[in-house]
Amino acid sequence: MIKPKLRPIETKVEIDENGAFQRQKNHFTQPFGQGATDLKAESGKYRLFWAKGCHWSNRAAIVRELLGLEDAISINLVGHSKENVKYGWEFVYDEDHKDPVTGVQFLSELYYNADPDYQGRCTVPALVDVTSKKVVNNDYHRLTNYFEVAFKPFQKAGAPDLYPEELRAQIDDYNDNILFLNVNNGTYRMMFAQSLAAYNEAFDDFYNTLDTIEECLANNRFLFGDYVTDSDIRLFVTLARFDTHYYRNLGPIKHRIVDYPNLWAYARDLYSIPAFAHNTYFHSIARGWDKDKDKLFVDFNSRFADQIDFDAIWSQPQDRAVLSQTPEQKFLLH
């Protein structure tokens, strides 16, 4: 067993001189493809590790199920134990806290197998080669795209086309320059900001973008029209966490997601798709932090999260289908 290292703390090592959060770069970014140095998609060779609360990895789990890659790419969840939280992600849901396929206790062991000198946070999603027990890719920017393109030979019959070739340039631009900067990472820019100026900048970027998306969704069922794309999955995982979890780490908020008529109905439209619901663990996302119920002030989630029927809330009817030319069909099929 490789001795685990202490997990670096974002607010200590990823803050710039202006107090703004600068997320660490992904370390294992070798792409999947047909090039001489590219990783090759194979069935049964790779294992995806993700965490219930982590939206960066949640989207990989959703895409895997949507595409029917369950037999091609195995999967397991990581979490935190009270006694070992300082060492990062651990296989807390497994017997002896060890992943049954790789045999390790901490995700970091698979990182250090691949690079003994690695110094950053050991993040999810992490795609691991089960034969070498090494992380081969942790690039959440591109991992779902590799599932959508490189792993196409292993997708189920009739799998949805989440990354249509004719839209890829637009989807990439939207994912990288709108969703990542202002929404997906925008929430963390607010939560980890160490100066009020950095917080306000992230706050404005986040809400200005939500306002624009709200307007877009007045006429479009999904971000790129009638069909779910990779971008919708990336937006959904942040929407699912904002009212449930992120709000706890912010100051006064401008709006909740439920206060946006189009965004809220759109999020529920996506949640009605089984792969979205199956991979969204609301009670884990909303878990209470305060175990001392005798205190005078106990946070809202600690008091009430276990009593909330999130599935019922998110399954409320919506009429988004009227915006589509194919109301019964949410996906473009291959």
Residues marked as binding? 89, 121-124
140 an active-site residue?
A: no
Q: From 145, 202, 209, select the one nearest 171 (Cα to Cα).
A: 145
- Of the candidates 241, 332, 223, 275, the one whose C-alpha atom is nearest the C-alpha of residue 62 is 275
Distance of alpha carbon 14 from alpha carbon 226, whole angstroms:
39
Hey, what are 181's tokens?
Answer: 């900067």
Cα distance from N-terminal residue to C-terminal residue, the chain:
44
Give backbone dihedrals phi and psi of 283, rounded to 5 degrees, phi first. Answer: -70, -30
Q: Are strands 73-78 and 46-51 parallel, antiparallel or unpaired?
A: parallel
Neighbours of 15 (CB within 10 A): 18
Collapsed DSSP state (helix, strand, coil) of residue 136: strand
HSE-up of 22 (CA within 13 Å, CB side)?
7
SS3 7: coil
188 labelled catalytic = yes
Q: Which residues are annotated as a binding site for glutathione?
A: 89, 121-124
CA separation for the pair 56, 121 (Å, rounded): 14
Query: Distance of alpha carbon 315 from its chain centroid, rounded?
Result: 21
Nearest to 317 by CA among 274, 257, 271: 271
Catalytic residue of the set 111, 146, 163, 188: 188
d(CA 297, CA 64): 41
> What secondary structure letter does DSSP report for 330?
-
The span from the CA of 56 to the CA of 66, in Å, is 16
DSSP state of 76: E
Q: Which residues are marked as active site?
A: 54, 188
